[in-house]
Amino acid sequence: MLEIKYIKKFPEKTMDISFRSERAMTVFFGRSGAGKSVTLRSIAGLVVPDSGTIKVGDKVYFDSKSRINLTPQERRTGYVFQSYALFPHLTVAENLLLAMKTVPKRETRYEVRELLEEVGIPELHDRLPGDLSGGEQQRVALARALARNPQVLLLDEPFSAVDVPSRVRLRTLLKRVQDHRGIPTILVTHQAHEAFTLGELIVVMDHGKVEQVGPPEEIFYRPKTLTTARLVGVKNIFPGVISEISQDTVYIKQNGKVWEAASLSGLHLSPDQRVSWCIRPEAVMLLREDRPLSLKRENRLSGVIEEVEQRGPVWELFVVSKEGMDLKIELPVHAAQHMGVTEGKEVLVSLKKEAIHIIPEIPDSGF
Amino acid sequence: MLGEVSLFPFWLSLKVATIATLLVILVGLPLAYFLARKRFAGSEIIVASTMLPIVLPPTVLGYYLLVLLGRNTIFGKFYEGIAGSPLVFTWQGAVVASAVASSPYIVRTAMAAIQSVPREMEDAARTLGLSELQIALRITLPLAWKGILAGVVLAYAKAIGEFGATLMIAGNIPGETQTLPIAIYDAVQAGKSDLANLLSISLAVLAISAVLLVGGLGKSRL
């Protein structure tokens, strides 16, 4: 269990962070400068907050009220730095040995071997960090972080400096290590897909504040704020006014058109309230020309494809509707090819009622 | 004629420079470590003042040392009380002059070398449970040693050639405080050009070897 609540003023920003996590894998998600790393450093004791409480499990690392502030040495955190921070003048084994002061001398050699086996690099025992690839250094950094048998594992952008195939292997390794050891882990990332695939609980941060805390599905499909919506790549965000609320549908007026959204409990909406409504680009449906009228489709819209961007497995389309609405649509490549997607083509789209999400905030101009 | 060359200035210069350099390492290295890693009110003034021995003319430096350490000053009396002999006009005075004059070379290069060690290395060591002393001895200094050693060599070269401040505080007493550079000055003053030549060449060789040594250190891998 993690309980983090702290305030720290810096000349350029103020950190005001508060969240709890009971989950094994917590992800800090946000842009650079949002305060993700500072929070990680506060947990490790490398940054001392002005006030607040930092608890890991039943251990109090920091509590300004009772004047508790354990040194980094007294806290047992396994920190993997973005740069790995391996000691270049020491071999892989020596890097690990430094963290094993509490292990009896005669067991350390065995322990080092065990750890290197665990992260899949037993053969690198006597090598210097400078001679290793990025992926190998990453594994050494992970093994070293585990060497102290930490109470929490802190990973700062661990996959940012390695190539894609190693990244996939490292994720698998991390998952295995975590399942095996059951250590609560915090991972920092600015990549939405990484947060989505790895996180059991996501803490969205922006400008030193927590924007939203929740499981990935909630963060990605039901963002509570516009900032979160933009950070997780919702892309299609429009202003609107609530016109009517029924049992299962919320009607939103916008430029004389009425949109239907599935009614969601927990949102306190009232008629005439100004809101934002949004839909993820992959949730927009492109209707087949040959049978658009045979099916009852909600929230229909016709427009012209202005631009097609081919991004490997996904194509991104920019559609401008007859009413002048800009829509971004993401389609898997096979679907896009099957539909004969080209620039200039007229298309009919449907915004599924269930995919429309309402945020009780009025859109501002910029991001 | 050269048969009557006294070896005393050689040995004295080596002795003075060695002790002075060790002294600066002992005091200057911890100071450099502290200044490289800590920021506090007035730290910039202290950092700037470590350059004074280079910026001040050697005779001015020597004069102030004399003012500070003379027999009637607090320091002078204190030293005399402990050592039983005064500091000024002794070879120990020459050590102090050389140490002060060469201190910037160690303090400044060591500071730069320590600052070049990424802070993250030390932070990593902290999270691994190493004490601050262990971090200094096992991580920071081993990673900065090349720069520190270069500073030590330069300081030694400066100490062995120190002239102005040494003359002011230790004087020119043959067989007692006459170091190599002062002996050269003496030889020139007395018109002994052969002796001046010989002494100058030996000092130049010492200095050039020091420079070569620093260059070699720069190229070595670790």
Length of chain A: 367
| pLDDT for the residue numbered B34 | 93
| pLDDT for the residue numbered A255 | 78
End-to-end CA distance of chain A: 34
| pLDDT for the residue numbered B17 | 93
Chain B hits for A145, CB-CB cut-off 8 Å, are 127
Distance from CA of B56 to the nearest CA of A (A): 37
Domain at B146, CATH number: 1.10.3720.10
From CA B95, how far away is CA B177, in angstroms rounded?
10
Nearest CA in chain B to A153: B127
Q: pLDDT tens digits for A238-277? A: 999 999 888 888 999 987 888 989 877 667 888 889 999 9
Residue partners of A342: CB distance under 8 A and separation at least 6: A305, A308
| pLDDT for the residue numbered B1 | 47
| pLDDT for the residue numbered A65 | 95
Q: What region does A9 belong to: left with phi over 0, alpha with psi -120 to 50, or beta? A: beta
The residue with greater pLDDT, A362 or A104, is A362
The residue with greater pLDDT, A366 or A15, is A15
The burial class, CB within 10 Å (0-12 / 13-18 / 19+), for A262 is middle
From CA A352, how far away is CA A142, in angstroms rounded?
44
pTM for the whole structure: 0.83
Closest CA to B29 of B121, B139, B137, B134: B137
| pLDDT for the residue numbered A167 | 85
Distance from CA of B140 to the nearest CA of A (A): 10
Give yes or no for residue B2 having a pLDDT over 70. Answer: no
| pLDDT for the residue numbered A42 | 97
Residue partners of B177: CB distance under 8 A and separation at least 6: B12, B89, B90, B91, B93, B94, B166, B170, B171
- What SS3 string covers A237-305? EEEEEEEEECCCEEEEEECCEEEEEECCCCCCCCCCCEEEEEECHHHEEECCCCCCCCCCCCCEEEEEE
Lowest mean pLDDT among A47-51, A104-108, A250-254, B90-94: A104-108
- Per the structure block, which two tokens stand in for B125? 């060591």
Give yes or no for residue B221 having a pLDDT over 80. Answer: no
Q: pLDDT tens digits for B144-186? A: 998 899 899 989 999 999 999 999 999 999 989 999 999 999 9
**Which of A73, A87, A101 is facing B139, going by the closest CB pair?**
A87
Chain B hits for A147, CB-CB cut-off 8 Å, are 128
Give yes or no for residue B4 having a pLDDT over 70. Answer: no
Lowest mean pLDDT among A9-13, A62-66, A297-301, A323-327: A297-301
Contact A89 B143 (CB under 8 A): yes
Contact A148 B120 (CB under 8 A): no
Q: pLDDT tens digits for B60-88? A: 999 999 999 988 898 989 999 898 888 99
Local structure of residue A346 (DSSP, 8 states): E
Give yes or no for residue A102 having a pLDDT over 80. Answer: no
| pLDDT for the residue numbered B131 | 93
Give yes or no for residue A366 having a pLDDT over 60. Answer: no
Give yes or no for residue A297 having a pLDDT over 80. Answer: no
Local structure of residue A71 (DSSP, 8 states): -
| pLDDT for the residue numbered A121 | 93
Report the percent of chain A where pLDDT is more than 90.
62
Domains: count for chain B: 1
| pLDDT for the residue numbered A293 | 58
Average per-residue pLDDT in chain A?
90
Residue pair A327/A350 in contact by the 8 Å Cβ criterion: no
| pLDDT for the residue numbered A103 | 65
ipTM of the complex: 0.84
Q: Residue B207 is part of which domain span?
A: 2-220
Residue pair A288/A304 in contact by the 8 Å Cβ criterion: no
What A194-197 contacts at long range (C-beta under 8 Å, 24+ apart), as own/partner pairs, is A194/A27, A194/A159, A195/A27, A195/A29, A195/A219, A195/A232, A196/A220, A196/A232, A197/A171
Residue B210 pLDDT level (bands cut at 50, 70, 90): confident
From CA A268, how far away is CA A263, in angstroms rounded?
10
Local structure of residue A222 (DSSP, 8 states): S
Could you give phi then psi for residue B37, rounded to 5 degrees?
A: -110, -15
Nearest CA in chain B to A151: B127
Contact B120 A81 (CB under 8 A): yes
From CA A322, how far away is CA A306, in angstroms rounded?
12
What is the average per-residue pLDDT within A7-35? 95
Chain B hits for A76, CB-CB cut-off 8 Å, are 129
Give yes or no for residue A26 having a pLDDT over 90. Answer: yes
Residue with tokens 């790995």: A84
**Which of B124, B131, B142 is facing A85, going by the closest CB pair?**
B124
Could you give phi then psi for residue A202, rounded to 5 degrees?
A: -110, 130
From CA B165, how far away is CA A133, in angstroms rounded?
54
What is the average per-residue pLDDT within A275-294? 80
Lowest mean pLDDT among A12-26, A72-86, A256-270, B208-222: B208-222
From CA B208, how far away is CA B194, in angstroms rounded?
21
**Best mutation target, B37, B117, B127, B140, to test chain A (most A CBs within 10 A):** B127
Q: Cite the DSSP H helix spans in chain B.
A: 8-37, 43-49, 52-55, 58-69, 74-83, 91-115, 119-127, 132-135, 141-161, 164-170, 180-189, 193-219
Interface residues of A toward B, Cβ cutoff 8 Å, are 41, 44-46, 71-73, 75-79, 81, 83, 85-89, 98-99, 101-102, 144-145, 147-148
**Best mutation target, B39, B128, B134, to test chain A (most A CBs within 10 A):** B128
Contact A46 B124 (CB under 8 A): no
Q: pLDDT tens digits for B10-56? A: 899 999 999 999 999 999 999 999 999 888 888 899 999 999 999 99
**CA B63: distance to chain centroid?**
18
Lowest mean pLDDT among A12-26, A310-324, B13-27: A310-324
Residue pair A25/A200 in contact by the 8 Å Cβ criterion: yes
Rounded to 5°, angle at Cα B16 from B11 and B17:
100
> What is the three-class DSSP state of B178?
coil
